[in-house]
A and B are shown apart, each in its own frame.
Chain A
């Protein structure tokens, strides 16, 4: 199983957001309120650096370029025994994630790494 995968519903949302906002990226959040959830931004909007790790370059049908999925290194140290699936649920969202105004929210579902 890949480190990060995408459900069909999340892929559909990514395609739709890609159409409106251009190339996309994810950064997995930690902390309170809307944390512990993936944030979706226009690619390059969130500046990754040496404290981050690129977990996956997601291939999504209908999206020309790969969608990078990032997490802070320190957080990944605590997550690396699991694999992640990006899903989407109805919700209000928050943070500056692109999908929130659509009434939906990306969500991570986790599994133990084989």
Chain B
């Protein structure tokens, strides 16, 4: 076990990063940034407004053309160098991310930061290997298709994986040759600036600009600007619709990742033997507590087949009760703090309505007071509800360490319950029978069906939503095209006129 000290590498204040330098907010205001670990403020952050966004857009437009013309070899090299710097500073990045978000450092050390590093490397490789196409339409006519950058794009980052989610958006956008204006979440603006302190010298000024602030004050002017060629957003449905609405005013594309209510389905044969696979499946059940449940694909509905329902659920409760909750900077800690007080309050409100609707609490069900300095932090016990899919705790994203469990009869029943949701981002299917797993996976209306695994996010596996879960596929080279225009040169090599006129 290692217990890291609270990070001390923060600046006391973070301004906006515009045109390759830190710039004070034009409104002069700052807001406090607390750590959810203790609830105490550790730095303050510039409160951006429309003039700051305009200044960042000026810088991005000044840099976009040269960056878009920079060879893919050079752009890829820069992304790889960013990855190298992150690798050299993995531990300090992981600690910063944990302190900022409240998540356990064992996750940031093993998942968040290594995944972010690999993501930069993946898009460095993908852009090198990307090719346009040509179609030989007839002997004299050729259609060439070129990928061109969009120009300047706006990106609004969520708070649940501040560095990794920024990377999911930045890596493809930069690889594709765009300049970026990025707004971090107001709950977690600081760790991205710590990351920037490690890599800022690698990027030409203006290619990456960061404007901090609140959604209504900084996000809205960015999302509604006619000067961005595209907006990428991860968050919730109402803001997603609002961003589409703003984009419609300027006829700009958007990519949106808006969450889900992911089913995690356990067929009877999972319990056919007491072996490694069963152990893995039980860990898969317990994945609802990963990142305190603050994952868009949190497996927040567990569907367990009737034949092994009681035994599997009892084992799942026991596994959940072994989760170690504690100081996020302790490497033994498995679950840390929720990211903010309002997030904590929202989770508690769902624990309340779950009980009122008659769902049974099998374990957890309350706020956790971990004592000492952690008493001011935002901790929730991992909670298992047993109930019916029509209950609100089965239909709404709680974004906390809460799973709602119900049973199913057979494959058709499982698929029916799984698809009885407004969302379609993730799903899990567990079975020793790959025919069953395949049939279920194809029938579930979700963009990602983990099959005999869960919560893996490797680069080169497309991630995105069906239904109300959003538009676009991140994490895969196809995301490059969400940051590119297609230029068609339709070329005639004939010297003869058509003969119309």
CB within 8 A of A29: which of B159, B217, B236, B398? B236
Are A100 and B215 interface neighbours, CB within 8 A?
yes
Are A110 and B353 interface neighbours, CB within 8 A?
yes
Are A107 and B238 interface neighbours, CB within 8 A?
no
One digit per residue, 1 when the CB lies within 8 angstroms of any chain A CB and 0 when it does not, for chain B 282-325 equals 00000000000010100000000000000000000000000000
A109 to B356, CA, bound (A): 11
Which residues of chain B have C-beta atoms less than 8 A from A10's C-beta?
Answer: none
CB-nearest residue of chain B to A108: B349
Check A3 for interface membership: any CB of B closer than 8 A.
no
Check A31 for interface membership: any CB of B closer than 8 A.
yes
Which residues of chain A have C-beta atoms less than 8 A from B395's C-beta?
Answer: 78
Are B342 and A33 interface neighbours, CB within 8 A?
no
CB-nearest residue of chain A to B240: A31
User: In the complex, how many residues of chain B place their beta carbon closer than 8 angstroms to a beta carbon of chain A?
Assistant: 53
Check A82 for interface membership: any CB of B closer than 8 A.
yes
Which residues of chain B have C-beta atoms less than 8 A from A45's C-beta?
Answer: 242
Are A111 and B341 interface neighbours, CB within 8 A?
no
**Chain B: minimal CB distance from A94 (Å):** 6
Are A33 and B159 interface neighbours, CB within 8 A?
yes
Are A32 and B158 interface neighbours, CB within 8 A?
yes
Which residues of chain B have C-beta atoms less than 8 A from A94's C-beta?
Answer: 159, 185-187, 214-215, 235
Which residues of chain A have C-beta atoms less than 8 A from B240's C-beta?
Answer: 31
Are A98 and B422 interface neighbours, CB within 8 A?
no
CB within 8 A of A35: which of B186, B345, B392, B399? B399
**Chain B: minimal CB distance from A21 (Å):** 9
Known: A39-B239, A78-B395, A96-B219. A32 touches B186 (CB 8 A): no
CB within 8 A of A109: which of B241, B296, B352, B390? B352
User: In the complex, how many residues of chain A place their beta carbon closer than 8 angstroms to a beta carbon of chain B?
Assistant: 42
**Chain A: minimal CB distance from B468 (Å):** 7
Check A2 for interface membership: any CB of B closer than 8 A.
no
One digit per residue, 1 when the CB lies within 8 angstroms of any chain B CB and 0 when it does not, for chain A 93-109 equals 11111101101010111
Known: A46-B245, A74-B422. A31 touches B259 (CB 8 A): yes
CB-nearest residue of chain B to A28: B238
Known: A100-B216, A101-B31, A105-B342. A32 touches B239 (CB 8 A): no
Check B327 for interface membership: any CB of A closer than 8 A.
no
Are B296 and A32 interface neighbours, CB within 8 A?
yes
One digit per residue, 1 when the CB lies within 8 angstroms of any chain B CB and 0 when it does not, for chain A 70-114 equals 001011001100100000011111111110110101011111100
A47 to B245, CA, bound (A): 8
Which residues of chain A have C-beta atoms less than 8 A from B26's C-beta?
Answer: none
CB-nearest residue of chain A to B36: A92
Q: Would you list which residues of chain A between 33 and 50 have a CB under 8 Å from chain B?
A: 33-37, 39, 41, 45-47
Which residues of chain A have C-beta atoms less than 8 A from B396's C-beta?
Answer: 30, 35-36, 78
A95 to B220, CA, bound (A): 9
Which residues of chain B have C-beta atoms less than 8 A from A101's C-beta?
Answer: 31, 47, 214, 216-217
A27 to B245, CA, bound (A): 14
Which residues of chain A have C-beta atoms less than 8 A from B31's C-beta?
Answer: 101, 103
A74 to B158, CA, bound (A): 25
With a 10 A CB-CB cut-off, give which of A34, A98, A101, A109 has the most chain B CB atoms.
Answer: A34
Which residues of chain A have C-beta atoms less than 8 A from B219's C-beta?
Answer: 96
CB within 8 A of B357: which of A27, A29, A108, A112? A112
Known: A91-B343, A98-B216. A75 touches B235 (CB 8 A): no
Check B270 for interface membership: any CB of A closer than 8 A.
no
**Chain B: minimal CB distance from A91 (Å):** 3
Which residues of chain A have C-beta atoms less than 8 A from B398's C-beta?
Answer: 36
Are A35 and B343 interface neighbours, CB within 8 A?
no
12 A–B contacts, CB within 8 A, in A order: A30-B238, A30-B259, A32-B399, A34-B236, A45-B242, A78-B392, A78-B396, A79-B392, A94-B215, A98-B216, A107-B349, A108-B349
The 9 closest A-B pairs by CB, nearest first: A91-B342, A32-B259, A35-B236, A31-B259, A29-B238, A105-B342, A31-B236, A32-B296, A95-B239
A interface residues, Cβ below 8 angstroms from B: 27-37, 39, 41, 45-47, 72, 74-75, 78-79, 82, 89-98, 100-101, 103, 105, 107-112
B interface residues, Cβ below 8 angstroms from A: 31, 47, 158-160, 185-187, 214-217, 219-220, 234-242, 245, 257-260, 294, 296, 340-343, 345-346, 349-350, 352-353, 356-357, 390, 392, 395-399, 422-423, 468-469
Known: A37-B346, A110-B356. 14 other contacts (CB 8 A): A29-B236, A31-B258, A31-B468, A32-B259, A34-B235, A91-B345, A95-B236, A96-B216, A97-B215, A101-B31, A101-B216, A111-B353, A111-B356, A112-B357
